[in-house]
């Protein structure tokens, strides 16, 4: 689907009254979009990658408390943390998007692809927990609460990561995966400030940000930085809705935000899209004035991990 058609559709659905808007959008995604067939692998992988980032900085994630911003439709990333040995996980979402039917499909996939899932986790998989999960999945009276109870997951939705209600120093790892690009800058600053309050002195912030134009994920005719050509006013007309909001902050903006939040950056791995870099160097994309003072390498950066600590 052409990205402008998709944007028009999302804008129209977002203008419906809240309840019918969510239901209609889910119905569309389920029948024509990315939720036709759900596969847990990508989100489990997100948890595994986050876990590895923590290990690479010589922190042990085992028996620690994780906090996830933006649960989404299926609690597969918190499940991955538990399967690898987390003590407990708090996962929070502004919208109560988690769906039982999708979660059941994910667990059915896991039951049908045991070897694939075991290979995905490798030696990090806690086999006893994996067996307990598979036992739960086979029960006729399976429900989300049983899953949350088994996996020590506290699901807070609707809930705002900027106002969690959690106690001071109560979490070890503050995480998100492909979520921060959807949140306005001032809200991100409030989320990091709240994170500073709830994280332990030795804790880490581990966030993965996807800087690409998300319309390019389904419309292959546009580049991952297509949206940089638009002014804020024009871009808002396409995507300032609850389903496709993107802040368009670039990697340097994020580093400045973490810095302003009193963090020391421990690691990043900005991924530069070579085709986008070439396009910029050849002057084939007219970048809007908002991005005009940025280096081409920054403009062509399409994703990065940002791992940080709060300064003492």
Ligand X SMILES: C[S@@+](CC[C@H](N)C(=O)[O-])C[C@H]1O[C@@H](n2cnc3c(N)ncnc32)[C@H](O)[C@@H]1O
Instruction: List interacting residues with ligand X (CB under 6 A).
Output: 43, 69-70, 72-73, 92-95, 97, 160-162, 177-179, 182-183, 187, 191
Pairing, β 199-210 against β 301-310: antiparallel
**Taking a C-beta distance cutoff of 8 angstroms, is the pair 228, 291 a contact?**
yes
| Min CB(201)–ligand X separation in Å | 24
Q: At closest approach, how far in Å is the CB of 58 from ligand X?
A: 26
* Complex with ligand X: residue 69 or 279, whichever CB lies closer: 69
- Residue closer to ligand X by CB (options 11, 229) is 11
Least Å distance, CB 14 to ligand X, is: 13
Q: Are strands 88-92 and 65-69 parallel, antiparallel or unpaired?
A: parallel
Q: Which one, 162 or 280, has the nearer CB to ligand X? A: 162
Shortest spacing between CB 163 and ligand X, in angstroms: 9
Question: Cβ distance 214 to 246 under 8 Å?
Answer: yes
**Joined tokens for residue 285:** 């994309």
CB of 66: closest distance to ligand X in angstroms? 13
- Residue nearer to ligand X on the CB measure, 148 or 294: 148
Q: Which is nearer to ligand X, 83 or 279 (CB)?
A: 83
Q: How far is the CB of 15 from ligand X (least distance, A)?
A: 18
Residue 24 tokens, joined: 């209609």
Q: Residue 239 or 280: which CB sits closer to ligand X?
A: 239
């Amino acid at each position: 689907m052409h990205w402008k058609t998709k944007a028009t559709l999302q804008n129209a659905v977002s203008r419906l009254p809240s309840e019918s808007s969510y239901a209609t959008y889910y119905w569309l995604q389920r029948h024509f979009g990315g939720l036709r067939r759900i596969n847990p692998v990508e989100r489990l992988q997100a948890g595994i990658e986050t876990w590895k980032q923590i290990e690479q900085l010589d922190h042990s994630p085992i028996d620690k408390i994780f906090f996830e911003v933006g649960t989404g439709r299926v609690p597969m990333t918190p499940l991955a943390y538990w399967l690898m040995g987390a003590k407990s996980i708090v996962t929070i979402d502004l919208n109560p998007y988690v769906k039982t039917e999708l979660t059941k499909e994910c667990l059915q996939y896991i039951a049908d692809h045991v070897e694939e899932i075991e290979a995905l986790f490798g030696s990090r998989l806690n086999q006893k927990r994996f067996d307990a999960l598979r036992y739960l999945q086979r029960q006729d009276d399976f429900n989300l609460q049983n899953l949350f109870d088994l996996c020590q997951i506290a699901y807070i939705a609707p809930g705002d990561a900027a106002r969690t209600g959690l106690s001071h120093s109560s979490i070890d790892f503050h995480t998100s995966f492909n979520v921060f690009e959807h949140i306005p800058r001032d809200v991100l600053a409030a989320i990091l400030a709240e994170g500073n309050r709830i994280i332990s002195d030795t804790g880490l912030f581990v966030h993965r940000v996807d800087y690409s134009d998300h319309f390019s994920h389904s419309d292959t005719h546009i580049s991952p930085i297509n949206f940089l050509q638009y002014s804020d006013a024009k871009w808002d007309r396409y995507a300032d809705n609850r389903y496709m909001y993107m802040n368009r902050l670039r990697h340097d903006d994020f580093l400045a935000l973490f810095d302003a939040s009193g963090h020391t950056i421990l690691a990043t791995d900005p991924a530069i899209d070579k085709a986008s870099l070439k396009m910029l160097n050849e002057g084939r994309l007219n970048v809007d004035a908002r991005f005009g003072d940025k280096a081409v390498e920054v403009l062509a950066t399409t994703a990065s991990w940002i791992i940080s600590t709060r300064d003492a």
